[in-house]
Chains A and B, each alone.
Chain A
Amino acid sequence: MGNRKIRYFLFGAVVMFLFVSIKTQAQNLENGKKIYQTRCLVCHQADGGGVPNMNAPLDGSTNVVGNDIARLVKIIKNGFNERVELDGLYYSNSMTPNPDLTPAQISDVLSYIRTSWSNKATKVTIAQVQQGIKGNQKTSTK
């Protein structure tokens, strides 16, 4: 193989790689959106706005775009009804747990809510979700 051929080959490989990774990323968000629509939309609404006093908004939430991924993982898995102050307000409903979601599915739905509407945070990797699950197990057995 000549030099030029190698260059073409490498270029092609890079293009392929980029294409595949962009596509899987898009698929992740697409998948996250589907999970959101079937499991979360009813309470958090199509625009992530939640319902005043009842269901917390995800759009514009400091926690949703924040760095505590383990907390987000725990909320998705176990549900949430701690009635803590969220960005200065309280919510009265009980959030449904999702114990059956895989780490890949949790990373998809978290990536979706962190990058949708006005939210512009980083996506969440499967490794981060797994780390979060491990961390949560440790703190809960304490």
Chain B
Amino acid sequence: MKRGIYLLLLLSMSVHFLANAQDNAGLTLPNGFKANLFAENIGSARHIAISKNGVVFAKLNRADKQGRTIIRLADENKDGISDKITGWANYGGTGIYLTGNALYASSNEAVFKYQLDGNDEVVNPLSPITVVSGLINRRQHESKSITFDKSNNMYVNIGAYSNACQDKDRTPGAQGMMPCPILDSAGGIWKFDASKENQTYGDGKRYATGLRNVVGLDWNSQANKLYVAQHGRDQLNTFFPSLYTDAQNAELPAETFYEINEGDNAGWPYVYYDNFQHKKIVSPEYGGDGKKEGASDIKNPAVAFPAHMAPMGVLFYTGNQFPEKYKNGAFITFHGSWNRAPLPQEGFFVAFVPFKNGKATGEWEIFANGFAGTMDGTKITSTRNAKARPCGLAQGPDGSIYVSDDTKGSIFKISYQK
């Protein structure tokens, strides 16, 4: 009897495993790629980081049932599925980054540093070092995403707590403030020395400005430059129905991916990028009419994507597992839109951006699709119906990549086999 039950259990587990492996966890991938669920239902998994031993750390936006916000996932039997899940920390947030033996994680106001031992266990879970605190959090665009260059400098996104810097946010007829006072402390990327403790704004430097909300950012080590993906402004049609139709709003403005040099200005809130005219257009809150061009010293995007798809994570691929074309190119997760309504929503996929000699070619393609769970090609009309929404991205030591989902908390592992 007992043996029968074990057999049944084993059988159902292997059927589950096979089904999971065969259908690529529901994803559509280029030839030769495979996907499986590394973890499921771990909570609102935002960004992820992976140690050199393959342990995955996921930052949760909200505490899980056990009150944890950093989840450690180990795959001890090496079958590609996490089998030992632990966690700690009590602050929600998005950012997590692993460099050397230190793990950095962010709340929506601060960045903390943890030491890892030789087994990738955190040495000081209850007493992290505060690297920087007091960063602006007014809920809207609150994620403090982080990345690092090769000289231990940390780059933190501080999103603008506004749609278009109107004197009353998201209010019809409200004017754009001139100059936009938000830009002093938000709407850009700040740089801090990661070896220092207890820093605040004064210790850092505004590295780039005019970026409404960046959630995905990564250091391109081949070009030795920062790259960031911006969420473009919303609601051109709702506030300016005489200038923009619903259909135009669904396609404007572009979501943009920038190569950032110190001091760059991407133009928010004064301009937005129009991917049809290939121009920076003055925002209607600042007197624009959909055609008038903005100042010429504003940064052009390296790549422009369809509107409102919400880029969440950027990863420059440095592994050796994937085919040559992926090397040093960028993967970008798209959370999926809401502001294309009443038109169908778009996104819910991972894109690949090819690079040549450290420069984006300007092209992009869909790499992994199907996260929303509509395999029959039907479109998502209400964002909550998407089964999974891609968010975090990280590369494992074997060159596989991992994608997190912050709705149900799945982690997908994507690998290539010759």
Hey, which bits of chain A sit against chain B, CB under 8 A?
37, 39, 41-43, 45-47, 49-55, 57, 79, 81, 83, 90, 92-97
Contact = CB atoms under 8 A, between A and B. Distances in A.
Contacts of A83: 139
Interface of B: 44, 61, 139-142, 163, 168-172, 235, 238, 338-339, 341-342, 381-385, 389, 406-407
Nearest to B169: A94
Contacts of B141: 92
14 contacts: A42-B235, A42-B339, A45-B341, A46-B382, A47-B382, A49-B382, A49-B383, A55-B338, A83-B139, A92-B139, A93-B140, A94-B163, A94-B170, A97-B168
Given A37-B342, A41-B342, A42-B339, A47 B381 contact: yes
Given A92-B142, A96-B238, A79 B171 contact: yes
Contacts of B342: 37, 41-42, 46
**Residue with the highest number of chain B CB atoms closer than 10 Å, among A41, A45, A95:** A45
A33 B412 CA distance: 40
Contacts of B406: 53
B257 to A, nearest CB: 22
Contacts of B341: 41-42, 45-46
A94 B166 CA distance: 12
Contacts of B61: 53
A95 B140 CA distance: 11
8 tightest A-B CB contacts, nearest first: A49-B384, A45-B382, A51-B338, A92-B139, A47-B382, A49-B382, A51-B383, A96-B170
A75 to B, nearest CB: 14
Contacts of B171: 79, 96-97
A23 B137 CA distance: 49
B170 A52 contact: no
B381 A46 contact: yes
A57 to B, nearest CB: 7
Given A79-B171, A92-B140, A93-B140, A42 B238 contact: yes
Contacts of A45: 338, 341, 381-384
B382 A43 contact: no
Nearest to A89: B62
Contacts of A81: 139-140, 169
A79 B169 CA distance: 10
Nearest to B168: A97
A52 B384 contact: yes
B60 to A, nearest CB: 12
Nearest to A39: B238
Nearest to B383: A51
Nearest to A53: B61
Given A52-B407, A92-B140, A57 B384 contact: yes
A43 B384 contact: no
A95 B385 contact: no
A45 B406 CA distance: 20
Contacts of B170: 79, 93-96
Contacts of A50: 384
Nearest to A82: B139
A122 B21 CA distance: 49
A59 B86 CA distance: 35
A49 B140 contact: no
Contact of B140 (A37, A39, A47, A94): A94
A82 B140 CA distance: 12
B258 to A, nearest CB: 24
A2 B406 CA distance: 75
Nearest to A97: B171
Query: Max chain B CB contacts within 10 Å: which of A57, A95, A97?
Result: A97
Contacts of B407: 52
A42 B338 CA distance: 7
Nearest to B141: A92
Of B163, B338, B339, chain A has the most CB atoms within 10 Å of the CB of B338
